[in-house]
Amino acid sequence: MNTAASRYDRIARETFIPQIGKIVEVADMTAKDRFFRVVLENPLGHRPGQFVMVSVLGLGEAPISISNGPTGDNILEMVIRRIGRLTRAIHELNVGDELGIRGPYGSGFSLDDFYDRDVLFVAGGLGLVPLRSLIVPVIAERGRFGDITLISGCRNPAEELYRDQLERWTTDAGMDVIRLVDSTENMPWKFGTGLVTEPIPKMTMDAEKIVVALCGPPVMYKFVIKTLMLRGVKDTQIFVDLERRMKCGVGKCGHCQINNIYCCQDGPVFRFSDLSAIPEALQ
């Protein structure tokens, strides 16, 4: 029985015991979104588009997107929206405080799908956060890609994330950045107004050569994909990063199931053609 005990103890540790991360930087991005940089005990070793399970022990745990590029060091960056009991508590934390971190989990993006192609990123609201983990490594190897475009939309100017980053990407990343808001709501805004679908019909686009990565609120996907397909972009050239409720991250708790697939294990990033027989994917 002793050997069995140590075996299951090890598996349980690997599955459910978070490593302790120390917060080294906190910054407000909007009134409800906060940036956190965390130093971990061990290297994160993540791929773009993966996520971690973040916990405050005693309060709970939730899946959170990783927003830094895969660097191989012990750094984890996230932008967390204050939305419930746990995230409200996380927003109370400061530099020096601890977070429990499990993961990384999920499929993520593979840069091999993007090399030598034109790249279009479509981000809606918080969708910019996981997409950033892909944009950063793409820019780092700028020469290996064709035209790069980012369409980033949010509700109003006050809700825009990563403003400094968007400025830098606009000026010196060799990338077209289209910044949009649904409505200015009478706030100062020097960029465009409209939905993230609107620039797509007007873009100069080589439909054969482009690869698209999109992430945003559930309602966004259908419309963006439809607009892309009208431009002749095939479903094999579109990658979607989906959101679902998750409680375990290891394909057991059942919450993230989309028809016969598990978002936490098979996703959250999917090639859209792989979802053709998955009617629940874009609901």
Partner 1 sequence: MSYHLATQQNVINWIRGLASENPVYFPEKYGHASYRFAKVEADSEIQFEHYTPTVLPPVKLLIPAREELLSFRKHSDGKTEINPTLDESFRVIAGVRPCDLKGIFLIDLFLKEGVADAHYLARRENTALIGWACTAPCDSRVFCAAVDSLHHSEGADVFITPLKNGDVLLEIKTRLGEKLAAGTDWQPCDDGPAKKVGVVASMQEPFGRTFPVGVQDIFKKVAKNWKSPIWDKHVERCFSCGTCNLVCPTCYCFDVNDDMNLDVTSGNRTRTWDACMLPHFAVVGGGHNFRPDPAARQRHRVKRKFEYLPEKFGHGAVCVGCGRCGRQCTAKIDIYDIILDLINEGERS
User: Which residues contribute to the site for partner 1 (CB under 8 A)?
Assistant: 1, 4-5, 8-9, 11-13, 15-18, 20, 55-62, 81, 83-84, 87, 98, 100, 217-218, 243-245, 247-248, 250-255, 257-260, 265, 279-280, 283
Q: How buried is 253 (Cβ within 10 angstroms: 0-12 exposed, 13-18 middle, 19+ buried)?
A: middle
Q: 119 or 126, CB closer to partner 1?
A: 126
Give the nearest distance from C-beta 148 to partner 1 in angstroms: 29
Q: 63 or 199, CB closer to partner 1?
A: 63
DSSP annotation of 72 reads S
Q: How buried is 59 (Cβ within 10 angstroms: 0-12 exposed, 13-18 middle, 19+ buried)?
A: middle
Strands in 19-28's sheet, in edge-to-edge order, are 60-65, 51-56, 98-105, 19-28, 33-39, 75-81
Q: 125 or 199, CB closer to partner 1?
A: 125
Q: Which helix (H) or strand (E) holds 257?
A: strand 257-258
Give the nearest distance from C-beta 101 to partner 1 in angstroms: 12
Q: Which two tokens stand for residue 38?
A: 């965390």
Dmax (CA) for the chain in angstroms is 69
Q: 131 or 138, CB closer to partner 1?
A: 131
Q: Which helix (H) or strand (E) holds 261?
A: strand 261-262
Q: 98 or 274, CB closer to partner 1?
A: 98
CA distance 275 to 270: 7
Q: 87 or 149, CB closer to partner 1?
A: 87
Give the nearest distance from C-beta 8 to partner 1 in angstroms: 4
Give the nearest distance from C-beta 138 to partner 1 in angstroms: 27
Q: Which two tokens stand for residue 13?
A: 């540790």
- DSSP strands (E only) in 90-181: 98-105, 118-124, 148-154, 176-181
Give the nearest distance from C-beta 33 to partner 1 in angstroms: 12
Give the nearest distance from C-beta 153 to partner 1 in angstroms: 16
